[in-house]
Structure 1
Amino acid sequence: MSYFVYILECSDKSLYTGITTDVKKRLDEHNTSEKGAKYTKARRPVTLIYFEKSENRSSASKREYEIKKLSRTRKLQLVEKFKVNN
């Protein structure tokens, strides 16, 4: 099963990073469902601005942790590279 690490931009321009097996479904949950993260519920709507594929949950969790440690500027640089390559 593939996992994805993703970054959302919230309505207040803050960034949220998470992991999932289904990016589209998880984005919908963040925007409309009680299953969305507590952080994003108060900052709806959210927009998907980045995602990357991981081979398993462990590697996705490790990558999520790496991204969460980055400064906002570095996260936005990662997002810009993603936009250029896709």
Structure 2
Amino acid sequence: MKVSYVYILKCSDGTYYTGVTSKLEQRVFQHQTGFYRNCYTFARRPIELVFYGEFTDINFAIEKEKQIKKWSKAKKEALINGEYDLLPNLAKKKF
């Protein structure tokens, strides 16, 4: 059974980057060292791994990554801080 990870990195400018990988430690190292020059995190280093979730189905992991990428910063921070009860309300639009 191959494990996949959805991860969130906090960048030096306070933004978040969400990704998916099967080799978490290697991928975080690549972000930290600027292995890919065209990556979002390249000019925003240093980065910090602030969240990751494990999945046994890569398709589900990719689906979750796409979902989290659409979230607001506040909703991502609630996930990072383990404040799961706040997630539904942060999904609602304020009028």
**Shorter-chain-normalised TM-score: which range?**
0.7 to 0.9
CA shift for structure 1 position 41? 0.4
Higher Cα radius of gyration = 2
- Displacement, 1:17? 0.1
Determine helix, strand or coil for the equivalent of 1:26. Answer: helix
The structure whose residues are more often helix, as a share, is 1
1:75 aligns with 2:91: no
Q: Supply the distance in 1 between the matched residues of 2:19 and 2:49 (Cα, whole angstroms).
A: 11
Distance in 2, Cα, partners of 1:79 & 1:37 = 26
Identical amino acids, percent of aligned pairs:
35
Deviation at 1:2, TM superposition (A): 0.8
Query: Mind listing any 5+ residue stretches in structure 2 that lack a counterpart?
Result: 84-95
Q: TM-score, normalised to structure 1's length?
A: 0.88
Change (3 A) 1:81 1:2: same
Q: Distance in 1 between the 2:60 and 2:13 partners? A: 29
- The 4+ residue runs of structure 1 with deviation greater than 4 A are none
| CA-atom RMSD in angstroms | 1.5
1:20-39 paired onto structure 2 within 5 Å: 20-35=21-36, 38-39=39-40
Aligned length: 82
